[in-house]
Amino acid sequence: MLDSSRLFRTLKYLIIVLLFLFAVHLLNRPSYREKYTEILRSFKDEKRLFVDDFLENEIDGRFDGRELAKLCRSKKWHPENRAVILSCQPMPGGIGEVKNGHLHCIRFAIEIGAQLVLPRITRRSPADISNLYGEQQAKGQPLDYMFQSQHLLTALNTHCPQMKVHASLDDLYDRPSLLKPLPVSLNMLTDQFANIDNELVPVIPDPATARRKFDEVYDRELPLEGRRYPVRVELQTTPFVWPAAADGDEFRRDFGRLLRVREDVRMLAASGLYNLAKRFGVPHDPRRGIGHHEGGGSGSGSGKHGRNGTDTSTGTGTMFLGVHLRTEKDVWYRELGFPDYEAQTFYFFNHLESLAGDGLGGGRVVYLATGLLPGDDDVRKFRARAAELGATVVTKRDVLGPGEVAMLNNHLTWDQRALVDYEIMLRVGFMMGVVESSFAWNLAMRRGNVYGGGGGGGVGGVGPEYGGYIGFSEEKPWDFNTSLDPEMVVMWRDRYTTLYGRASRAVAMFNGIWP
């Protein structure tokens, strides 16, 4: 028999173990776990908590690589002893073009069963933003210049283990056969481009033939008897040629999330969004993404509440809008067909005027995403006109603290600063942009995927019933003039985003973007 002291000790330990097991049981129940989490959160600093939540949660929820894994399993891969290694020319431009160019690189590597050298980025001239190739270093900047390479590597290693990934060509210095690559353009992989909305656009109509076409080029240019392994193939810069919908809606929704914006920039965006929310009383929970937005579903906007503080039925409270104004000098030098300031703001202010006319006045805040400085003429004119319509305009420099603005100005390049705009614009209540911009298209389609306004990113339904991609219909006027109804010059519309304008380039972007 146990003496009384030993019995007491045994019972004491038994009670502790039982209490521990009971606590674990409770914490595994969602209701108790959530309450416990909220109690712990209450001890954290409010802003730090907001920033942490922002960094831990993307608007799309957790990355799901099942469709990527399925695609990789379906392809034929070159064995190590006959390896093909794909490198891609460094991609110039802003996040819209660079992101999609890199995704084309990764997608093509999967298609031809090749190993991958992480794609790089060409940095534009800091003295002249219209000079996209201003950097002297021919090989460009590493992926981390804009994105988180570790996130990409982890996702590929987990969901596409068939693909061997090399951080840089420098890691392959001892392979002389790689010095002279086989240049390939996606344009070489099709006999004709696609006819979409009665427009011939540079999009491959049948991607199923791409592998066969590549094999033909490969065998013709590098005959087997003289081939030296490993072989390097270099893909030319073609950011919107692959038909992104060809692999299915689920793959298209997920694939773009391989490239996540770099962490320090996301921290700046989180801080700016917190400051904006506190200053203007905009309700925003950075943990809330897919399936948690107000007024969910995929209708045309009949729900009462919009995302993050936009009440679309009464307009009560603060309305949080985002406008992408694209009038910086580089768009004029590159002759991309962008409308000028008057045309862009004609669209945007028409929408603000309609809100005022519907009695939705006062209290609106407009986040202006632009590469212009606060003192530039277009920004000053925009602020003044918006103020007449009862809206307060802020830019990233208005919502960041002094030290953060210094970091923005002194440690980030022009294109890196735009990443702050990108992260904040993902979360505005209602967004407007123009169809000539790949930045705006990426935002519109990603927001449509998450918040339900555009069905399957626009591909699951078209028109007022579903929202999303409207297309390039013949009845829309071509030439801009102020007698037009701006709401009829639209190529994307859902409950949370409208893209104004009409451009054949936009057809290629919609069909070629992984948001």
Percent helix / strand / coil, the chain, rounded to 5: 45, 10, 40
**CB of 366 closer than 8 Å to CB of 432:** no
Give the pLDDT score at 27: 56
DSSP assignment letter at 236: -
Q: Where are the beta strands (DSSP E) in 219-362?
A: 231-235, 320-324
**303 falls in which pLDDT band (50, 70, 90)?**
very low
Residue 127 pLDDT > 70:
yes
Give the pLDDT score at 310: 43
Give the chain's count of helices (H) and strands (E): 17, 14
Domain ranges of the chain: 66-250, 263-512
Residue 359 pLDDT > 90:
no
86: tokens are: 């794909």
Give the pLDDT score at 133: 85
- Across the range 91-118, mean pLDDT stands at 97
- Compute how many other C-beta atoms are within 10 angstroms of the C-beta atom of residue 292: 14
Give the pLDDT score at 29: 64
- Compute how many other C-beta atoms are within 10 angstroms of the C-beta atom of residue 505: 17
Is the peptide bond between 230 and the residue preceding it cis, with omega within 30 degrees of 0? Answer: yes
Give the pLDDT score at 292: 38
Residue 504 pLDDT > 60:
yes
Residue 162 pLDDT > 90:
yes
Q: How far apart are CA 158 and CA 233, in angstroms?
A: 24
Residue 144 pLDDT > 80:
yes
Residue with the bigger pLDDT between 465 and 424: it is 424
Q: How far apart are CA 265 and CA 420, in angstroms?
A: 6
Give the pLDDT score at 354: 85
φ/ψ of 118, rounded to 5, equals -50, 130
Residue 164 pLDDT > 80:
yes
Residue 441 pLDDT > 50:
yes
Give the pLDDT score at 51: 96
**463 falls in which pLDDT band (50, 70, 90)?**
very low
Give the pLDDT score at 326: 97
Give the pLDDT score at 505: 86
pLDDT digits (tens, 9 = 90+) for 215-262: 999 999 999 999 999 999 999 988 899 999 999 999 999 999 999 999
pLDDT digits (tens, 9 = 90+) for 14-71: 777 666 666 656 556 655 445 544 544 554 689 999 999 999 999 988 899 999 999 9
Q: How far apart are CA 355 and CA 351, in angstroms?
A: 6
Give the pLDDT score at 208: 84
The Cα diameter of the chain in Å comes to: 100
Q: Alpha helix locations (H) across 193-262?
A: 210-221, 249-255
Residue 161 pLDDT > 70:
yes
**139 falls in which pLDDT band (50, 70, 90)?**
confident
Q: Is 115 helix (H, G, I), strand (E, B) or coil?
A: strand
Give the pLDDT score at 477: 46
Q: How far apart are CA 276 and CA 318, in angstroms?
A: 11
- Across the range 341-350, mean pLDDT stands at 94
Of 207-216, 282-291, 397-406, the range with the lowest mean pLDDT is: 282-291
Q: How far apart are CA 61 and CA 286, in angstroms?
A: 11
Q: Alpha helix locations (H) across 160-311?
A: 210-221, 249-255, 263-280
Residue 381, H or E segment:
helix 377-388
Give the pLDDT score at 52: 96
Residue 454 pLDDT > 60:
no
pTM, two decimal places: 0.86
CA angle 357, 294, 324 (to 5 degrees): 55
**298 falls in which pLDDT band (50, 70, 90)?**
very low
Q: What is the mean pLDDT of the chain?
A: 84
Q: Is 500 helix (H, G, I), strand (E, B) or coil?
A: strand
Q: How far apart are CA 47 and CA 401, in angstroms?
A: 13
Give the pLDDT score at 473: 59
CA angle 465, 66, 308 (to 5 degrees): 45
**291 falls in which pLDDT band (50, 70, 90)?**
very low
How many residues does the structure list for the chain? Answer: 515
Q: Is 55 helix (H, G, I), strand (E, B) or coil?
A: helix
pLDDT digits (tens, 9 = 90+) for 370-414: 999 999 999 999 999 999 999 999 999 999 999 999 999 999 999
Q: How far apart are CA 90 and CA 351, in angstroms?
A: 39
**356 falls in which pLDDT band (50, 70, 90)?**
confident
Give the pLDDT score at 349: 95
Q: How far apart are CA 400 and CA 363, in angstroms?
A: 21
DSSP string, 465-491: TT-EE----TTS--S--TTS-GGGSEE
- Compute how many other C-beta atoms are within 10 angstroms of the C-beta atom of residue 144: 14
- Across the range 177-198, mean pLDDT stands at 85
**CB of 31 closer than 8 Å to CB of 251:** no
Residue 307 pLDDT > 70:
no
Residue 449 pLDDT > 70:
yes
Residues sharing a CB contact under 8 Å with residue 255, sequence separation 6 or more, in sequence order: 67, 68, 103, 107, 244, 247, 514
**205 falls in which pLDDT band (50, 70, 90)?**
confident
* CB neighbour class for 425 (10 Å; exposed up to 12, middle 13-18, buried from 19): buried
